[in-house]
Structure 1
């Protein structure tokens, strides 16, 4: 049996469309290819953006801003030493882009100007650290991407 070029073209197009449909259905239904959103409540976070920008501006105006360094014990955040550590409040949010289940918060409760994030809480790889803190009614925002 001989197939002419028109029939071959139709068969080729049908096979291509079948492959594409198989690929789309597999990618949309298989749990292995499921990815988390960066944030579940991203609309709410968008509304808070101007407040974060103002707090980041306050952070930039400090003579000694928050400094983060990696040590053997973990990751140390050093707050300005001119501030009374007992009056600093807020939280540290650590975001792991590769897995939502690794994200966590740490409340800021200081007795010295340093806050240690323990080594056992941080896996090797990329982390985004966001520090939202307040001192005497003024808000500050520090954000940094690190490779731990």
Structure 2
């Protein structure tokens, strides 16, 4: 049986369309390819964006800002030494962009100007670290993308 060029083009189109449809269906139904939004209430969070800008501006005005390091026990968040740690309050949030089920928040608890987040809460990979804290009457925000 001989196939002419018109039939060949139709077969090529059908093959290409089938190939594309296979991948569309595979990506939309397979849970391994599921990607979640970083924040569920995206538009509500957008309204508070100016507050975040103000807090980050306050944080940048500090003579010494928050820092972090990886240790044997976990992630260590280092607060400025020139501040009284008894007056620092707030929340540390860690967001995993690839899986919202790994996201968590912890209240700030400081000893020796440091806060430890244990290894058992963190998996290797990229995290968004966010420290929203208050010292006396001033609000501060530290954001950093870290590789753990």
Query: Does the TM-score normalized on the shorter chain lie above 0.5?
Result: yes
Counterpart check, 1:56 vs 2:60: no
Is the Cα–Cα contact under 8 Å of residues 92 and 108 in structure 2 kept in the other structure? yes
The answer to whether the Cα contact below 8 Å between 2:129 and 2:143 also exists between their aligned partners in 1 is yes
Alignment of 1:118 with 2:118, yes or no, is yes
Deviations 1:5-54 (A, max 9, x none): 11221222122212222221222122222111122112122222111111
- Alignment map for 1:4-43 (pairs within 5 Å): 4-43=4-43
Are positions 1:92 and 2:108 aligned together?
Answer: no
Name structure 1 gaps, 5 residues minimum. none
Q: Distance in 1 between matches of 2:124 and 2:34?
A: 23
CA contact (8 A) 1:58 1:139 kept: yes
Contact persistence 1:91–1:133 (CA under 8 A): yes
- Structure 2, unaligned runs of 5 or more: none
Does the CA contact (< 8 Å) of 2:35 and 2:98 recur in 1? no
Report how far residue 110 of structure 1 moved: 3.2
Extract structure 1 runs of 4+ deviating beyond 6 A. none
Supply the distance in 1 between the matched residues of 2:15 and 2:144 (Cα, whole angstroms).
Answer: 49
SS in 1 for 2:35: coil
What root-mean-square deviation, in Å, do the aligned CA atoms of Structure 1 and Structure 2 show?
1.7
Conserved? CA contact 1:89–1:108, under 8 Å: yes
Tell me the equivalent position of 1:107.
107
**Structure 1 position 82, deviation (Å):** 2.5
Cα distance in 1 for partners of 2:97, 2:88 equals 28
Distance 1:23 1:72 in 2: 43
Note the 1:71-82 alignment, pairs <5 A. 71-82=71-82
Q: Is the 8 A contact 1:78 1:114 kept in 2?
A: yes
Paired residues of 1:126 and 1:147 also in contact (CA < 8 A): yes
Deviation at 1:84, TM superposition (A): 1.9
How many residues in Structure 1 have an aligned counterpart in Structure 2? 148
